[in-house]
């Protein structure tokens, strides 16, 4: 590792990302440390570091996904514990950042929750954030600390290298997915289709229009996350009606709220490729589901962190 060494850095993973943290430890040559990450009887989070982090660059690995509030508080408390234990600096590797969809005030009286999350983590003592495919380009601006963002789109596209490119079409399920889907399509040399979506209520999508020529083509829907699966369900129905021969998914973050798996199974999705930004275990065996590791990408992003892990951009 060029910037940090095993003598000055330590890695700690939240339980759901313990496997990812272990992979990063091996790739970077940085030792893992341990902590108690549990709860009191009333549900309050309880954490405790078991290793001395004084003078160390601490790298905390963990997404603030479901259960979002619980994992967010665990991350904030670990940051605070490390700061009070005289850690030299603290970098949080949060592949999936919870509340990232609340990146604007949709209506009067609604909060800017993603900004609130940024304030919480910074107030706890965070020096740097590393993340993957943040939901909105506005999110890094919510932080006053450096934010290093990578993208898993190329990684997902490479999983679809085999097959006939002339029979494929890449689909952006809404306007927010156009940039990612466009990058995916460019890497595969495939055309791009776009869906126009409206949400009359939270988690209730309505597909207004779908532009593209899908007749006789294999469609690959590309997005940053699967939450309820409702958007993908509606787009997949339109694609089938338009003559698509098969439907695949390439999605970075498998949030997979209750009901999502059922929806996707019911639509007969042929192949679903996600990353391990979140730990998702299907209810039963699901041959269509494939998981690509973010460890190599995250290792490269962590190598960009300055030797002191501090705020100056590399």
* Two tokens, residue 199: 């949400």
Q: Which part of the chain is CATH 3.40.50.2020?
A: 9-150+296-302, 153-293
pLDDT tens readout for residues 68-116: 999 999 999 999 999 999 999 999 999 999 999 999 887 888 899 999 9
- More confident site: 234 or 291: 291
pLDDT in the model for residue 314: 37
With respect to CATH, is domain 9-150+296-302 assigned 3.40.50.2020? yes
Confidence check: pLDDT of 270 > 90: yes
Confidence check: pLDDT of 187 > 60: yes
Question: Which pLDDT band holds residue 5 (cuts at 50, 70, 90)?
Answer: low
pLDDT in the model for residue 217: 95
Q: Could you tell me the pTM of the whole model?
A: 0.92
- Active site amino acids: 197
* Cα distance between the two ends of the chain: 15
pLDDT in the model for residue 210: 86
Confidence check: pLDDT of 151 > 80: yes
Residue 256 CB neighbour total at 10 angstroms = 23
Counting beta carbons within 10 angstroms of the beta carbon of residue 2, is it exposed (0 to 12), middle (13 to 18) or buried (19 or more)? exposed
Question: Which pLDDT band holds residue 308 (cuts at 50, 70, 90)?
Answer: low
pLDDT in the model for residue 202: 64
pLDDT in the model for residue 193: 93
Confidence check: pLDDT of 220 > 90: yes
pLDDT in the model for residue 1: 46
b/e per residue 62-72 (b: at least 16 CB within 10 A): bbbbbebeebb
Confidence check: pLDDT of 164 > 90: no
Confidence check: pLDDT of 186 > 90: yes
CA distance 166 to 185: 12
Confidence check: pLDDT of 300 > 60: yes
Rounded to the nearest integer, the mean pLDDT of the chain is 91
pLDDT tens readout for residues 195-211: 886 665 665 656 667 88
Q: Please provide the DSSP assignment of the chain as one string.
A: --S--TTTEEEEE-GGGHHHHHHHHHHHT--B--EEEEE-TTS-EEEEE-S--BT-EEEEE----SSHHHHHHHHHHHHHHHHHTTBSEEEEE-SS-TTTT--S--STT---HHHHHHHHHHHHT--EEEEES-S-TTGGGG-SS-EEEE--HHHHHHTT-SS-GGGEEEEESSGGGHHHHHHHHHHHT--EEEEEEEEEETTEEEEEEEES--TT-EEEEEEEEESSSHHHHHHHHHHHHTT-SEEEEEEEEE---TTHHHHHHHTT-SEEEEETTS----SS--TTEEEE--HHHHHHHHTTS-TT--SS--
Confidence check: pLDDT of 185 > 90: yes
Confidence check: pLDDT of 13 > 50: yes
Confidence check: pLDDT of 26 > 90: yes
Confidence check: pLDDT of 233 > 70: yes
Confidence check: pLDDT of 286 > 50: yes
Q: Which of 249, 3, 222 is nearest to 130 (CA)?
A: 3
Q: Which residues pair with 222 in a beta bridge?
A: 250
What is the share, in percent, of the chain residues with pLDDT greater than 90?
A: 79
Give CATH for domain 153-293.
3.40.50.2020
pLDDT in the model for residue 307: 65
């Amino acid at each position: 590792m060029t910037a940090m060494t095993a003598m000055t850095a330590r890695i700690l993973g939240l339980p759901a990302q313990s496997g990812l943290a272990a992979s990063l430890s091996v790739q970077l040559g940085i030792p893992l440390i341990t902590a108690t990450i549990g709860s009191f009887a009333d549900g309050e989070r309880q954490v405790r570091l078991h290793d001395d982090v004084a003078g160390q660059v601490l790298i905390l690995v963990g997404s603030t996904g479901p259960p979002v509030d619980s994992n967010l508080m665990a991350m904030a408390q670990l940051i605070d514990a490390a700061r009070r234990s005289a850690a030299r600096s603290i970098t949080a590797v949060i592949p999936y950042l919870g509340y990232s969809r609340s990146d604007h005030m949709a209506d009067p009286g609604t909060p800017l929750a993603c900004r609130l999350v940024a304030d919480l983590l910074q107030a706890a003592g965070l020096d740097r954030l590393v993340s993957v495919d943040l939901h909105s380009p506005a999110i890094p601006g919510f932080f006053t600390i450096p934010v290093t963002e990578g993208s898993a789109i190329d990684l997902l596209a490479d999983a679809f290298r085999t097959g006939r490119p002339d029979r494929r079409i890449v689909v952006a399920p809404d306007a927010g997915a156009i940039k990612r889907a466009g990058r995916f399509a460019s890497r595969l040399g495939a055309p791009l289709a776009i869906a126009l979506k409206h949400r009359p209520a939270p988690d209730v999508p309505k597909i207004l229009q779908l532009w593209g020529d899908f007749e006789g083509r294999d469609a690959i829907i590309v997005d940053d996350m699967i939450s309820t699966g409702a958007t993908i369900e509606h787009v997949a129905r339109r694609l089938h009606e338009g003559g698509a021969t098969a439907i695949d998914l390439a999605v970075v973050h498998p949030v997979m709220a209750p009901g999502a798996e059922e929806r996707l199974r019911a639509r007969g999705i042929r192949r679903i490729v996600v990353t391990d930004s979140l730990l998702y275990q299907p209810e039963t065996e699901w041959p269509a589901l494939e998981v690509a590791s973010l460890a190599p990408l995250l290792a490269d992003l962590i190598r960009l962190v300055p030797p002191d892990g501090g705020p100056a951009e590399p």
